[in-house]
A and B are shown apart, each in its own frame.
Chain A
Amino acid sequence: MSDASRRSPRRSSIAADDASAAPSTAGERLPELLRRVAQRDRRAFEQLYAATSAKLYGTVLRILKERGRADDVVQEAYVTIWQKAAQFDTGRASPIAWMVAIARHAAIDELRRQPRAPHEPEEALAHTPADEPSAREHLEHEQDAKRLHACLEALEAERRDMVRLAYLDGWSRADLATHFEQPVNTVKTWLHRALKQLKGCLAP
């Protein structure tokens, strides 16, 4: 957090809504906003929402595909963020990654409770640019993103697709099994191999 932004946190532009904003601007503000939210500062909460809601909503809507359900889940996620802000630990995750994780898990829980209509797999895959991370929102440092993408490229194509469809679109093992025409257990084995390969590839 720079001195300037601490003095005037509202001055910073809101990256989520403004493609021209340097991502680091919001990235640097978020820990301070979360700290204030932990002290039950409602204005800070509104600023945090303004800076992050498009990212969380995009994440959740991509999994649930329906605005009504996404509204409910994102509401639940922000209530959780309000309640748990005091537990956020900068040493363990970046603020946006922590918040996205809360929203993603809520979306996947919702989807597992009530699966949506059958998938449109072609559309889901078409959604996924291979190596064109959005310029607006960087969840992680560029370098981490490059490493992960390089490691994903090293996976067999089907396994890479499985990882993407699961993480980004919320597909279950059964969804993957249907689409890839494999038994569920085979899908599980493939996922485990892919995850282990990724872990090995990403290890320092």
Chain B
Amino acid sequence: MTDHDDIDMLAAEYVLGTLDAEERAEVAQRRQHDADMEARILAWEARLAPLGNEVEAIAPGPDLLERIERRIDELEATFQTKSKSEDDTHGATQVIALRRRLGFWRGCTGLATAAALILAVVMIAPFDDTPDAPPFVAVFQQDDQQPAFMLSVDLDSRRLNVRPVTAKPLPDRSYQLWIKAEALGPKPRSVGVLNDDLSLPADALSDYDSELLKRATFGISIEPPGGSPTGQPTGSAIHGYLYPTDRDAVSQHL
């Protein structure tokens, strides 16, 4: 069997639904940055979709729409409040939030148990109508409601800015920022250990090119003082996906 066959069967079984939870999480993550995988999944969705004609339509309970709208209101209120208070550069706020189950980081050394508990939410900060290249933003979120950090990256200059949102300095612990990208292999690489004021030097990402950065995911882990002794995350990680702040670019990454 060739690699192409394997990938195609992975996409086919993903669509069919027969993969286990871990395999599904991996495929769901992979489709976001692997155009070939995404295309194969869509092709299989199209092939099998007519099977769904057999499904009997069943009206949900009368309250469900209200529940959904309340949930949307909650999400938007959370993010808008946060953006207004935390973002000092833009006025109008447009937010797209995405709950993302962990998969991509699960395979990392040392993260298997701790990271399984964590959901990341990635958020778009304000839309900016100026023609300048938009900054990319990742939000590191420790649960559904509370963002811990916000990372923004200017892809042109490859300068970064990490800001704590709810995260506080921890006694005898350091926060460490990691980058993970297909081009870097399966393991995360350290970007740096956050300073006592939870900042990082703006040029910490200057070794990576902007294409890689666009597709990368980022994690922040809690480590012994001075950073991980192993070169890999050892503590629980909170992670985010670098996310463009203009709508057109968003569609390329999800």
Contact = CB atoms under 8 A, between A and B. Distances in A.
Given A93-B45, A138-B53, A54 B59 contact: yes
B250 A55 contact: no
Contact of B47 (A89, A128, A148): A148
Nearest to A100: B52
B254 A139 contact: no
Given A53-B65, A93-B42, A195-B16, A87 B250 contact: yes
Nearest to B20: A112
Main secondary structure of the interface of B (DSSP, over half): helix
B68 A84 contact: no
Given A101-B45, A105-B28, A109-B24, A191 B59 contact: no
A183 interface: no
Main secondary structure of the interface of A (DSSP, over half): helix
Contact of A144 (B16, B50, B67, B68): B50
Contacts of A31: none
Interface in A145-179: 145, 147-149, 163-164, 166-168, 170-173, 176
A134 B55 contact: yes
Interface residues of A, number: 76
Interface string A168-204: 1011110010000000000010011001101100100
B58 A54 contact: yes
Contact of A62 (B24, B55, B68): B55
Contact of A168 (B28, B55, B60): B55
B167 interface: no
Given A109-B24, A195-B9, A148 B65 contact: no
Given A84-B254, A94-B49, 4 more contacts: A86-B250, A89-B251, A105-B28, A195-B12
Interface of A: 16-17, 40, 42, 45-46, 49, 53-55, 57-59, 61-63, 67, 70-71, 74-76, 78-80, 82-84, 86-87, 89, 92-94, 97, 100-101, 104-105, 108-109, 112-113, 128-129, 132-134, 136-140, 144-145, 147-149, 163-164, 166-168, 170-173, 176, 188, 191-192, 195-196, 198-199, 202
Interface of B: 8-9, 12-13, 15-21, 24, 28, 42, 45-61, 64-65, 67-69, 71-72, 75, 94, 96-99, 101, 247, 250-251, 254
